[in-house]
């Protein structure tokens, strides 16, 4: 196959990290990205070059382009951590070569050749050959949210308590976890910001859906914590909301932070709880989990594909935005609730 010499992409304007915190919302693209044309990259020995069919947008992508993620930006390279496409070239590694011509879900990781472009580079080990019954919309979001959902629900299972609590309850990730919990007989408690999200999440299997904006939120939260006694708190928000929830939780509670949607500082209201109630705060990063639990990764990938293929899981789509329209449209599309936004080269 003859490849073009140039490709389109949404290229990073900044380099490295920034020390200026900001909220997770993307107000405009221009401070962080610019459209451009660059040379099509060549894959390294253990890598694959993928012609991108669809690329997803996650909160981690927004944190990354703002310089607030755990990976430095490289100015002039495309952004975008995951997508779906067809492998059009590979390095000489035997496994990489076995992917040639296959449709794969992929994560770009530290390759610094992101998915918001015509072509992306990923390590072959970060490519998942797909079964035909998995839609592109599900495949493009196959890695970050599904694997995080399976990994974090394993934490819930291992803790043993049936009830657990999550912020950002209407997110795609939380919806996946709610589905897992319902099947296993667990009782997820979730927070939302809009009343209209409550019936949807109850129908999916949430035991309690609390509107954090309600006047009686703290009172209802305390009652729910007393009744359900959740030990695990999966938090994508941080800030005052998370502090309030953690403060209301029972002894031996674990606050597991995997995102930061709130720019406000996060405060431990009563540090004595860490000492005398044996509460603790920890982080979850999927990349680290994948390195630490390689023995679980293959089974998790297989389980995610099965769930998307048989309809137990499905990605809610807000919009599919052509690459050439992304600079103008993405901020408005990302502001809409309840679904994912994709970029189509």
Q: Domain-by-domain residue ranges, the chain? A: 6-141+315-344, 145-287
pLDDT of residue 294: 86
pLDDT of residue 326: 98
Does 57 have pLDDT greater than 80? yes
Report the SS3 class of residue 38.
strand
Residues 6+ apart with CB under 8 A from 175: 201, 204, 316
pLDDT of residue 163: 99
Assign 338 a pLDDT band (cuts: 50, 70, 90).
confident
CATH number of 6-141+315-344: 3.90.180.10
CATH number of 145-287: 3.40.50.720
Residue 122: its H or E element: strand 119-123
Domains 6-141+315-344 and 145-287 belong to one CATH topology: no
Q: How far apart are the first and last CA of the chain?
A: 19
| C-alpha span between 277 and 289 (Å, rounded) | 27
pTM of the model: 0.91
| C-alpha span between 284 and 293 (Å, rounded) | 13
> Which alpha helices (DSSP H) does 185-285 contain, by range?
198-204, 217-228, 239-248, 272-276
Q: What is the pLDDT of residues 156-212, one digit of tens each?
A: 999 999 999 999 999 999 999 999 999 999 999 999 999 999 999 999 999 999 999
Question: Could you give phi then psi for residue 124, rounded to 5 degrees?
Answer: -55, -35
Does 25 have pLDDT greater than 90? no
pLDDT of residue 291: 87
Q: Average pLDDT of the chain?
A: 95
């Amino acid at each position: 196959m003859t490849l073009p010499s140039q490709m389109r992409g949404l290229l990073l304007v900044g380099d490295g990290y920034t020390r200026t915190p900001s909220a997770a919302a993307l107000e405009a693209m221009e401070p962080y990205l610019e459209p451009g044309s660059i040379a099509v990259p060549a894959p390294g020995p253990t890598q694959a070059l993928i012609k991108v069919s669809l690329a997803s947008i996650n909160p981690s992508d927004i944190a990354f382009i703002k310089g607030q993620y755990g990976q430095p930006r490289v100015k002039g390279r495309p952004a975008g951590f995951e997508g779906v496409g067809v492998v059009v070239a590979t390095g000489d590694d035997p496994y990489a070569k076995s992917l040639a011509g296959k449709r794969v879900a992929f994560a770009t990781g530290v390759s610094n050749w992101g998915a918001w472009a015509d072509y992306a580079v990923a390590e072959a080990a970060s490519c998942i050959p797909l079964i035909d019954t998995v839609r592109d919309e599900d495949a493009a979001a196959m890695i970050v949210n599904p694997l995080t959902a399976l990994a974090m629900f394993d934490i819930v299972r291992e803790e043993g308590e049936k009830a657990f609590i999550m912020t950002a309850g209407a997110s795609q990730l939380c919806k996946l976890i709610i589905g897992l919990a319902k099947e296993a007989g667990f009782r997820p408690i979730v927070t939302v910001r809009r009343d209209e999200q409550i019936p949807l999440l109850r129908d999916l299997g949430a035991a309690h859906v609390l509107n954090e904006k309600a006047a009686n939120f703290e009172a209802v939260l305390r009652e729910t914590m007393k009744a359900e006694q959740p030990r695990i708190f999966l938090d994508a928000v941080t800030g005052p909301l998370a502090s309030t929830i953690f403060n209301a939780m029972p002894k031996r509670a674990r606050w597991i932070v995997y995102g930061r949607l709130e720019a406000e500082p996060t405060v431990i209201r009563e540090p004595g709880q860490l000492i005398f109630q044996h509460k603790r705060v920890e982080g979850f990063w999927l990349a680290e989990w994948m390195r630490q639990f390689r023995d679980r990764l293959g089974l998790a990938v297989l389980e995610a594909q099965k769930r998307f293929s048989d309809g137990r899981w499905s990605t809610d789509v807000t919009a599919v935005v052509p690459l050439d329209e992304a600079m103008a449209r993405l901020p408005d599309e990302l502001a809409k609730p309840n679904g994912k936004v994709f970029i189509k080269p």
